[in-house]
Chains A and B, each alone.
Chain A
């Protein structure tokens, strides 16, 4: 038993070392740093107590960034889940032409994040944008705070679509066909089979997709950077974009370490919630 344990730890060692060096050590450094005054050059110059956190929450822009992130989440999460569910449900049975639809739905995976964000920027740029021309509209998509966050959410859906679709589709196709066939023999229609058998079977994967979407929404930064740069009028500044500005543009290490600590705590809570949910789901 003991030698088995040793073997297991030895096998885990490379991952533990990597996690220690690249995750836990920087995290510990951030947590300590968040209670210290750090110079622009990155040197700890004194103990700050809670000053960094007080300063962070005194900044209206940071508080606003939490609001913007939540707004993004509220738009993105249902839209993302519904569209992926719809696409996966429609193509869950392999038929003659589903390969074409699968190819279309998987296309976003072939386009890099930055390329897609740049394409979106051109499509929605200004009142004489491509989208306005196509549909004879006069909407200031990226110029108006209300629309800009919606465009950002739409871009988010597009970026996540491919990977989420393939996960859910594979989950649907993994379902034991004999159960579905038995249900059909018993007279269950397509809708009844979907709601009573297939969706409950795909629920664990759907939960993973939802948790991934929440993680992506809370961590969103690069699409903001390219599509809106936080604008117009700071209306699309999310928490992580705010972090980027403070850490990389302003060299404000107090804000940087405080946000890193808060976000790590949030991620920890999310992982715990997912683990608890999965445990609960297994019991049920």
Chain B
């Protein structure tokens, strides 16, 4: 009897594991990748929702950290079709290809989100043949960070193109008496994100793959070789590197923050982090991304992440309305460095006053508003591998003297292989 009772208790205890995993019906679960300040501000926004709109509707929004953006995607795919799928997940552009092929996504268009209220470049960044896939939330763009003290001391004009940067590299870089580099003019090896601007902006608008960078249909053909954009970029970049003042690195923030590099390219939302790391060491300034050449007038694309919906409940729609409200977007932008996704914020006097007070934040805003909104990030299968292969090819060209045409051909072949594989696995062949 005692044994049977113990067994029953054990079984009940086991069942409680499942009970713990079940979701409450009046909860909006949001999986995200936010850490540090981003996480803190996001939680404050959720608290704001829960104490106002959520309270009226009787729902609670709960944010759950699920690792990096790609981890969130992996978990969403694993949870698809189960009750564990959250109502909302914050994911970046690497999720778009999977999401637009999925049957469990409720697109922002389906949810009735008014696109006219959103920043056009942000809308284009997450638009596919299924319409607007997700609600843009963490919008950022690539900007040039530079050491203002060094640039002022060298008395140089800010470079508008890579060639102009090449011309001043020896003035903002520094060598010691033995010829060893003390300060690089630039640190960083461009990859998919940077090439979104360096390639995307060429000739007003260029794409890396067909389907407008994979946004419309499954990408089937790589374009960077046939249209000559990657070759053109490599020619200019190699000349820049050959000055001897460019450091190939994936950790440019540390090189820049320590003062070992006078400039770097990075996402605009990293501004608070860069400011914290630099401290009082030198004055930071920001500028537009240098163009590949005089014809590269397209500007930059919007990066960052968006909120993907997996439920079309009224509570989720109410949450989206709340998160896109002027107050919410302004708080998010001012406290994290992201660009506001709602047009209303750009027109508000409070935000204009904020930009006057924080001019470093203005660069990303001005650059985005003056860019061609059709310049978009790339949606490709195996995005992570392509990201690192771009860096490898650029490193081989600059450091190992690999022939530029060969590098372009190898890069194009690599991307094509990924596209073919993806098409084969999705019956698109």
Could you list which residues of chain A lie within 8 angstroms of chain B, going by C-beta atoms? 37-41, 45-46, 51, 55, 58-61, 125-128, 140, 142-143, 230-234, 237, 245-246, 248-255
Contact = CB atoms under 8 A, between A and B. Distances in A.
Given A55-B424, A250-B385, 15 more contacts: A40-B422, A40-B425, A55-B421, A61-B385, A61-B389, A126-B251, A126-B255, A234-B392, A245-B385, A249-B70, A249-B382, A251-B77, A251-B98, A252-B425, A253-B425
A127 B260 CA distance: 9
B384 interface: yes
Given A38-B425, A45-B427, A250 B388 contact: no
Interface in B389-419: 389, 391-392, 395, 410, 414, 417
B254 A128 contact: yes
Nearest to A231: B250
A68 to B, nearest CB: 13
B117 interface: no
A143 B249 contact: yes
Most A C-beta atoms less than 10 A away, residue of B384, B385, B426: B385
Contacts of B102: 41
A143 B250 contact: yes
A249 B74 contact: yes
Contact of B74 (A61, A126, A248): A248
Nearest to B413: A60
Shortest beta-carbon contacts, A-B, top 6: A233-B392, A126-B254, A250-B382, A234-B388, A233-B395, A249-B384
B337 interface: no
B74 A51 contact: no
A125 B249 CA distance: 12
Contact of A37 (B260, B388, B424): B424
Given A126-B255, A232-B250, A245 B384 contact: yes
Contacts of A234: 388-389, 391-392
A41 B70 CA distance: 16
25 contacts: A37-B424, A38-B425, A40-B422, A40-B425, A40-B426, A55-B421, A59-B414, A59-B417, A61-B385, A61-B414, A125-B254, A126-B251, A126-B258, A127-B255, A143-B251, A231-B250, A231-B388, A231-B391, A234-B388, A245-B382, A245-B385, A246-B382, A248-B74, A249-B382, A251-B98
B384 A39 contact: no
B310 to A, nearest CB: 15
A200 to B, nearest CB: 47
A251 B258 CA distance: 38
B381 interface: yes
Nearest to B73: A249
B110 interface: no
Most B C-beta atoms less than 10 A away, residue of A45, A128, A249: A249
B402 to A, nearest CB: 12
Contacts of A46: 427
B101 interface: yes
Interface of A is mostly: loop
A38 B421 CA distance: 11
B356 to A, nearest CB: 35
Nearest to A62: B385
Contacts of B417: 55, 58-59
A230 B381 CA distance: 18
A252 B381 contact: yes
Contacts of B250: 143, 231-232
A51 B74 CA distance: 25
Given A40-B98, A45-B427, A254 B251 contact: no
Contacts of A230: 388
A254 B260 contact: no
Nearest to B101: A40
Interface string B371-390: 00000000001111100110
Nearest to B75: A248
Nearest to A242: B385
Contacts of A249: 70, 74, 382, 384
Contacts of B414: 59-61
Nearest to B74: A248
A125 B395 CA distance: 19
A250 B254 contact: no
Contacts of B385: 61, 245, 250
B417 to A, nearest CB: 6
Contacts of A140: 249
Contacts of B427: 39, 45-46
Contacts of A59: 414, 417
Interface in B159-196: 189
Interface string B17-34: 000000000000000000
B251 A125 contact: yes
A159 B180 CA distance: 37
Contacts of A37: 424-425
A3 B19 CA distance: 43
A126 B382 CA distance: 27
Contacts of A248: 74
Nearest to A255: B421
Contacts of A40: 98, 101, 422, 425-426
A61 B381 CA distance: 15
Most B C-beta atoms less than 10 A away, residue of A40, A245, A246: A40
A141 B426 CA distance: 41
Given A125-B251, A126-B251, A231-B250, A39 B260 contact: no
A143 B258 CA distance: 16
A140 B70 CA distance: 28
A244 to B, nearest CB: 10
